[in-house]
């Protein structure tokens, strides 16, 4: 049995619900409830409709433990909707539910959290450093980030529903295989340009202090890089700035 | 105090909405410092001031990417606090940026803890609804989702309001005693932010082959732009 073509209204409802897939994120089921919430509009098409036995059984299956990157969760949502509507065996659906957490988490995290987000952030910081107006910087950041992530969410839902439980092949798409490395290279290039420009943008007219600031920041960056994640720089910065404030007040 | 509490309502509402965006809905990254602090500054009539704080906090935020179940600072309401604190001070006030950024970082730290508590609260609600959820009740699934998002809005609002109630008078008291010059004060903040951002970028990109050359190329381009702009 093949899954029926989803009505546009159902697809739209699933897509909108995907935006809230982490709305009930918790340490017991992680985003499991969100997955059931996002699949639910498709499950109304099951024989017996909303409240029917198959509908209730499917909802119960989907709201268990689940984790993935939120921007790639659409792949799982689409695939699970297809599997339920196709009448795939329950044990296969449950195995898929468990098995796809890892790949969807690691691929999505590398592509979005460690790739696309820093790249968009650095692009906007570069625009700030070059003197772009506040509205322009914000729109540039939000525009680039959301064009990418909305497209990813839409593609994920579409590809997941098309492939069903064979969706693992979609994870081999060139975007997901080579995308993180390409975005990392772009981020490195942007970082080299954006960070010095942003530092100058914040310093403002006090350009005589720039050389000292760059030198001190570079030394600090090298030290933090050598710790390679064992120390969180922002926590050290809180302590350093609090001490700086204290000295300024009491001296 | 009453006037301050009421005056903070618009910022509190902004912090609530941006706190929701961090994880629950819609993760459009309006809650990232560049956007959130600028919006807070705009609400105070000075978007440019908000953007400066936003840029500094964004440099810090490059280090703290929101991977799944890891603990990370909550930048949405924190950036509203930072942007608003800097925007209310007259231009050129020595120490204003330092105090605003430090307050925002503290708020982000506490905000990260508030997210942990919030997630535990949702887990308790989910445990209380276990029978309904395992029997496939759509109302239970939707109800838990809505409760999670509503409580996240409340969490963001409380974080923003409490932080502003504490930091507005504290900032005024600190700035009245401030002794470093404006240049020294800004330099301290920017050195910290630049160092954290540099270390963070290396951590993100160094595992990919060839990125060192891209970073060096970018630095060369950045240096050239510093000279010509």
Average pLDDT of the residues in B39-64: 97
**Does any domain span residue A183?**
no
Q: Determine the pLDDT at residue B65.
A: 83
Measured between CA atoms, the residue of chain B closest to residue A200 is B226
Closest CB to B135 among A60, A228, A249: A60
Q: How confident is the model at residue A53 (pLDDT cuts 50, 70, 90)?
A: very high
Q: What are phi and psi of B148, to 5 degrees?
A: -60, -45
Hey, are the CB atoms on A197 and B222 less than 8 Å from each other? Answer: yes
User: How far is the CA of A81 from the CAs of A59, A229, B80, in angstroms?
Assistant: 11, 39, 39
**Does any domain span residue A180?**
no
Distance from CA of B108 to the nearest CA of A (A): 10
Domain ranges, residue A75: 8-102
pLDDT in tens, A172-197: 888 888 888 999 999 999 999 999 99
d(CA A140, CA A178): 25
* Beta carbons within 8 Å of A101's beta carbon, 6+ residues apart: A66, A67, A68
* Element holding A36 (H helix, E strand): helix A32-43
Hey, are the CB atoms on A63 and B185 less than 8 Å from each other? Answer: no
**Does any domain span residue A161?**
no
**Does any domain span residue A127?**
no
Whether chain A has a CB inside 8 Å of the CB on B198: the answer is yes
Lowest mean pLDDT among A13-17, A119-123, A241-245, B225-229: B225-229
Average pLDDT of the residues in A36-50: 97
Using the predicted structure, report yes or no on whether residue A228 has a pLDDT greater than 80: no
**What value does the mean pLDDT of chain A take?**
94
Q: Which residues of A touch B167 (CB under 8 A)?
A: none
Q: Which residues of B touch A50 (CB under 8 A)?
A: 138
Q: Would the ipTM clear 0.85, i.e. be above it?
A: yes
**Does any domain span residue A113?**
no
**Does any domain span residue A83?**
yes
Q: How confident is the model at residue A150 (pLDDT cuts 50, 70, 90)?
A: very high
Q: How confident is the model at residue B204 (pLDDT cuts 50, 70, 90)?
A: confident
**Does any domain span residue A51?**
yes
d(CA B34, CA A47): 49
Closest CB to B222 among A193, A237, A251: A193
* Beta carbons within 8 Å of B150's beta carbon, 6+ residues apart: none
Q: Are B37 and B57 in contact (CB under 8 A)?
A: yes
Distance from CA of B158 to the nearest CA of A (A): 18
Overall number of domains in chain A? 2
Q: What is the pTM for the complete model shown?
A: 0.96
Q: Determine the pLDDT at residue A3.
A: 86
Radius of gyration of chain A (CA): 23
Using the predicted structure, report yes or no on whether residue B4 has a pLDDT greater than 70: yes
Whether chain A has a CB inside 8 Å of the CB on B101: the answer is yes
Size of interface A-B (CB pairs under 8 A): 354
Higher model confidence: residue A41 or residue B203? A41
Using the predicted structure, report yes or no on whether residue A19 has a pLDDT greater than 80: yes
Measured between CA atoms, the residue of chain B closest to residue A196 is B222
Closest CB to B186 among A67, A135, A206: A206
pLDDT in tens, A158-170: 999 999 999 888 8
Q: Determine the pLDDT at residue B150.
A: 98
d(CA B170, CA A248): 14
Q: Determine the pLDDT at residue A206.
A: 67
Measured between CA atoms, the residue of chain B closest to residue A102 is B68
**Does any domain span residue A26?**
yes
Q: Which residues of B touch A121 (CB under 8 A)?
A: 32, 34, 58, 61-62
Q: Which of A69, A102, A135 is the last residue of a domain?
A: A102
Q: Which residues of B touch A228 (CB under 8 A)?
A: 203
Measured between CA atoms, the residue of chain B closest to residue A69 is B68
Q: Are B14 and B78 in contact (CB under 8 A)?
A: no
pLDDT in tens, A66-119: 999 999 999 999 999 999 999 999 999 999 999 988 888 989 999 999 999 999
**What value does the mean pLDDT of chain B take?**
95
Average pLDDT of the residues in A211-228: 92
pLDDT in tens, B71-83: 899 999 999 999 9
Hey, are the CB atoms on B102 and A241 less than 8 Å from each other? Answer: yes
Using the predicted structure, report yes or no on whether residue A205 has a pLDDT greater than 80: no
* DSSP per residue, chain B: -HHHHHHTHHHHHHHHHHHHHHHTS---STTSHHHHHHHHHHHTT-HHHHHHHHHHHHHHHTT----TTS----HHHHHHHHHHHHHTSPTT-TTHHHHHHHHHHHHHHHHHHHHHHHHHHHHHHHHHTHHHHHTT-HHHHHHHHHHHHHHHHHHHHHHHHHHHHHHHHHHHHHHHT--S-HHHHHHHHHHHHHHHHHHHHHHHHTTSTTHHHHHHHHHHHHHHHHHH-
Hey, are the CB atoms on A185 and B214 less than 8 Å from each other? Answer: yes
Task: Report how far Cα A15 is from the mean position of its chain's Cα atoms.
Answer: 15
Hey, are the CB atoms on A141 and B29 less than 8 Å from each other? Answer: yes
Q: Determine the pLDDT at residue A172.
A: 81
Q: Which of A102, A124, A139 is the last residue of a domain?
A: A102
Q: Which of A87, A102, A117 is the last residue of a domain?
A: A102
Closest CB to B205 among A28, A187, A196: A187
Lowest mean pLDDT among B30-39, B44-53, B103-112, B201-210: B201-210
- Proportion of chain B above pLDDT 70, given as a percent: 99
Tokens matching residue B206: 């160094």
Whether chain A has a CB inside 8 Å of the CB on B197: the answer is yes
Average pLDDT of the residues in B19-31: 97
């Amino acid at each position: 049995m093949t899954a029926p073509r989803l009505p546009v209204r159902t697809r739209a409802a699933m897509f909108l619900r995907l935006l809230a897939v982490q709305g009930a994120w918790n340490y017991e089921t992680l985003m499991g409830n969100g997955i059931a919430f996002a699949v639910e509009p498709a499950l109304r098409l099951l024989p017996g409709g909303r409240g029917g036995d198959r509908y209730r059984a499917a909802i119960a299956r989907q709201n268990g433990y689940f984790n993935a990157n939120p921007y790639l969760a659409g792949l799982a949502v689409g695939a699970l909707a297809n599997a339920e509507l196709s009448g795939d065996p329950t044990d296969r659906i449950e195995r898929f539910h468990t098995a796809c957490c890892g790949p969807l988490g690691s691929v999505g995290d590398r592509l979005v959290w460690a790739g696309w987000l820093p790249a968009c952030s650095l692009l906007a910081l570069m625009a700030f450093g070059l003197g772009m107006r506040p509205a322009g910087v914000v729109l540039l950041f939000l525009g680039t980030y959301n064009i990418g992530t909305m497209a990813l969410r839409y593609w994920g839902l579409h590809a997941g529903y098309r492939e069903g439980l064979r969706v693992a092949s979609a994870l081999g798409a060139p975007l997901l295989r080579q995308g993180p490395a390409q975005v990392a290279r772009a981020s490195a290039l942007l970082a080299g340009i954006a960070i010095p420009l942003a530092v100058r943008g914040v310093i403002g007219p006090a350009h005589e202090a720039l050389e000292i600031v760059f030198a001190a920041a570079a030394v600090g960056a090298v030290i933090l890089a050598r710790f390679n994640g064992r120390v969180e720089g922002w926590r050290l910065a809180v302590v350093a700035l609090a001490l700086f404030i204290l000295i300024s007040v009491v001296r | 105090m009453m006037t301050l509490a009421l005056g903070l309502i618009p910022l509190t509402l902004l912090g609530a909405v941006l706190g929701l965006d961090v994880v629950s809905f819609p993760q459009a990254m309006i809650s990232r410092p560049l956007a959130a602090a600028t919006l807070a500054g705009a609400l105070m009539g000075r978007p440019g001031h908000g953007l400066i704080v936003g840029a500094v906090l964004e440099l810090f935020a490059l280090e703290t990417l929101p991977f799944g179940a890891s603990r990370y600072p909550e930048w949405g309401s924190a950036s509203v606090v930072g942007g608003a604190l800097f925007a209310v001070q007259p231009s050129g006030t020595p120490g204003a940026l330092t105090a605003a950024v430090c307050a925002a970082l503290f708020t982000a730290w506490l905000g990260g803890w508030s997210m942990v508590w919030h997630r535990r609260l949702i887990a308790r609600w989910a445990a209380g609804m276990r029978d309904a959820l395992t029997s496939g009740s759509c109302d239970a699934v939707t109800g838990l989702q809505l409760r999670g998002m509503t409580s996240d809005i409340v969490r963001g609002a409380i974080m923003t309001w409490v932080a502003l109630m504490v930091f507005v008078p504290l900032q005024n008291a600190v700035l009245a005693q401030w002794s470093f010059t404006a240049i020294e004060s800004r330099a301290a903040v920017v050195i910290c932010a630049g160092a954290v951002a540099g270390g963070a970028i290396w951590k993100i990109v160094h595992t990919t082959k060839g990125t060192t050359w891209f970073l060096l190329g970018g630095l060369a381009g950045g240096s050239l732009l510093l000279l010509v702009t």
